[in-house]
Amino acid sequence: MKREVKRIYFLCGQNRCRSQMAEAFAKFYGGDHVVVDSAGLNPSEAVHPYTIEAMREVGIDLSQCVCKKIDMKVFLASNAIVKLCEQIVERCPIVPFKIMNVDWNIRDPLAVDGGAWKT
């Protein structure tokens, strides 16, 4: 019996770190059982270099990834919307009842007091 492929959409503020990492890990561990995308409310120009470096350390290459804005077609076609930060929880489009709505609220690892990681 063939299992239905699940569609997961990871969302955060800038799509430069948390959501890119979540997308990559879900693709790596989910294989052919999931279709995964990520996006941000206000996407950055590029995936942060520290994100690329951290993922390279675990064997996942994000060097060719780009930051994306929320796409409502992908949003509405998803089985699960995973909101990774408080900013997205407050400003995300309303998730229809048929879609699983998950709030993880993970602190931005690039936002450190004093701005040391904001390069």
CA 34 to chain centre: 14
Q: How confident is residue 59, by pLDDT bands cut at 50, 70 and 90?
A: very high
Q: How confident is residue 117, by pLDDT bands cut at 50, 70 and 90?
A: very low
Which CATH number fits the domain that encloses residue 15?
3.40.50.2300
What DSSP element (H or E) covers 51? helix 49-57
Domain assignment present for residue 92? The answer is: yes
Domain assignment present for residue 31? The answer is: yes
Mind telling me the catalytic residues? 12, 85, 92
Mean pLDDT rounded to a whole number for the chain? 91
> Structure tokens of 44?
């950055």
Domain assignment present for residue 42? The answer is: yes
pLDDT tens, residue by residue, 72-91: 999 999 999 999 998 888 88
Domain assignment present for residue 49? The answer is: yes
Check pLDDT > 90 for residue 113. Answer: no
Q: Could you list the residue range(s) of the whole structural domain that residue 52 is in?
A: 6-115
Domain assignment present for residue 69? The answer is: yes
pLDDT > 70: percent of the chain: 92
Per-residue b or e along 32-61, where b marks 16 or more CB atoms closer than 10 Å to that residue's CB: eeebbbbbbbebbeebbeebbeebeeeeee
pLDDT, greater one: 112 or 35 = 35
Radius of gyration of the chain (CA): 14
pLDDT tens, residue by residue, 4-30: 889 999 999 999 999 999 999 999 999
Count structural domains, the chain: 1
pTM: 0.89
- CA dihedral for 51, 66, 70, 7, sign (positive or negative): negative
Per-residue DSSP letter, 12? E
Check pLDDT > 70 for residue 116. Answer: no
Domain assignment present for residue 1? The answer is: no
